[in-house]
Amino acid sequence: MSHPTTMLLTARDIHKRFGALVVLEGVDFSVAHDEAVGIVGPNGAGKTTLLSILSGAQPSSSGAVAYRERDVTTLDSAARCRLGIVRTHQIPRPFGGMTVFENVFVAAANGRCKRAEAYDRVVDALALCGMSEVANRRAETLGLLDRKRLELARALGADPGLLLLDEIGGGLTDAEASELVEAIQELRRRRIAVVWIEHIVHILLQVVDRLVCMDAGRVIADGEPRAVMADPAVVEAYLGGDVHGAA
Ligand SMILES: Nc1ncnc2c1ncn2[C@@H]1O[C@H](COP(=O)(O)OP(=O)(O)OP(=O)(O)O)[C@@H](O)[C@H]1O
């Protein structure tokens, strides 16, 4: 974080406690414009909690978050979403009783744009995620891969500048996860910055420029992805805990 002004997002000295439980302990994290950053680490390392603090879904106990050089620390997730910080969830959360199209439209029609523009954005997001053919299906009838795709399409519908992905590959076969990789690579071509938490590391390595490894609420390695995976502290963190498909 030596040049904060060149960063799209900067989180400084983030601490998070749940009562006596310390979950994040002085985390510094940043994302450059157009960058894709992967976050790995054993279960319970604090990855999802960090993502929630970046998205505004949870407040930090202390520390600050800036986006496009604006302090967003006190803004909630809806306000950050309007600025362009958009997240997906580990467990997809489609609106039941609505079609795939309607689900994405709700995200797209967030007050920042006209109806026709929102409509175009939905069509584009569904095409990018390979969902045009199921646009009129009820969301609750979708299988896991399509639910994951819908989660991504809804995030895209919200017109992100920074997309925060929480284990979007989880539960998918390698072939299914590869399809998502293609969609995410297209986002990169569109210059959307990405932060991606993923246990399936070989999928992550196809996309990210930089890898951050967390363990027990701290960042223990940050840098070129293959160098991070070979870092003795990272190997130890995994071997000392649950490798959970990290190989
Ligand atoms: N709302 C909460 N209340 C209390 N403890 C919580 C809460 N949310 C998370 N934790 C705890 O914080 C720690 C970090 O959880 P977190 O989900 O951020 O880890 P993670 O690295 O994303 O793990 P995983 O890879 O298993 O998803 C865990 O010990 C978890 O039980």
Residue 220 lies in a domain: yes
Distance, CA of 5 to chain centre = 22
Residue 139 lies in a domain: no
48 C-beta closer than 6 A to ligand 1: yes
Mutate which of 14, 18, 60, 234 for ligand 1 pocket (most atoms within 8 A of beta carbon): 18
CA separation, residue 105 to residues 87, 114, 141, 204 (Å)? 16, 12, 18, 28
Q: Which letter, b or e, does each residue of 39-76 get, where b requires 16 or more Cβ atoms within 10 Å of its Cβ?
A: bbbbeebbbbbbbbbbbbbbebeebebbbeeeebbebe
Instruction: Please check the confidence at residue 75 and state whether its pLDDT lies above 90.
Output: yes
43 C-beta closer than 6 A to ligand 1: yes
Between 94 and 133, name the one with better pLDDT: 133
Q: Assign 124 a pLDDT band (cuts: 50, 70, 90).
A: very high
Q: Assign 1 a pLDDT band (cuts: 50, 70, 90).
A: very low
The residue segments making up the domain with residue 56 are: 1-75+200-247
User: How many Å apart are CA 163 and CA 161, to the nearest integer?
Assistant: 7
CA separation, residue 33 to residues 5, 47, 114, 217 (Å)? 10, 21, 27, 25
Residue 205 lies in a domain: yes
Instruction: Please check the confidence at residue 243 and state whether its pLDDT lies above 60.
Output: no
Coil/strand/helix, residue 123:
helix
Q: In this structure, which amino acid lies at residue 3?
A: H
Mutate which of 49, 60, 167 for ligand 1 pocket (most atoms within 8 A of beta carbon): 49
52 C-beta closer than 6 A to ligand 1: no
Check residue 178 and give its pLDDT. 85
136 C-beta closer than 6 A to ligand 1: no
Tell me which residue has tokens 């997809």: 92
Q: Whose CA is nearest to atom 25 of ligand 1?
A: 43
Residue 163 lies in a domain: no
ipTM for this model = 0.96
Of the candidates 215, 244, 216, 217, the residue with the CA atom closest to the CA atom of residue 231: 215
Check residue 227 and give its pLDDT. 95
Overall average pLDDT of the 181-208 stretch: 91
Residue 224 lies in a domain: yes
Check residue 246 and give its pLDDT. 46
**What CATH number corresponds to the domain at position 232?**
3.40.50.300
- pTM of the full structure: 0.90
Q: In this structure, which amino acid lies at residue 44?
A: G
Distance, CA of 11 to chain centre = 15
When divided into structural domains, the chain yields a total of: 1
User: How many Å apart are CA 150 and CA 218, to the nearest integer?
Assistant: 32
Q: Assign 112 a pLDDT band (cuts: 50, 70, 90).
A: low
Q: In this structure, which amino acid lies at residue 240?
A: G
Q: How far does residue 93's CA lie from ligand 1's centre (Å)? A: 19
Residue 130 lies in a domain: no
Q: Across the chain, what does the average pLDDT equal?
A: 90
Q: Assign 3 a pLDDT band (cuts: 50, 70, 90).
A: very low
Q: Assign 111 a pLDDT band (cuts: 50, 70, 90).
A: low
Check residue 247 and give its pLDDT. 41
53 C-beta closer than 6 A to ligand 1: no
Query: How many residues can be counted in the chain?
Result: 247
Q: Which letter, b or e, does each residue of 112-141 get, where b requires 16 or more Cβ atoms within 10 Å of its Cβ?
A: eeeeeebeebbbbbbebbbbeebbeebbee
Q: How far does residue 137's CA lie from ligand 1's centre (Å)? A: 34
Q: How far does residue 94's CA lie from ligand 1's centre (Å)? A: 22
Residue 24 lies in a domain: yes
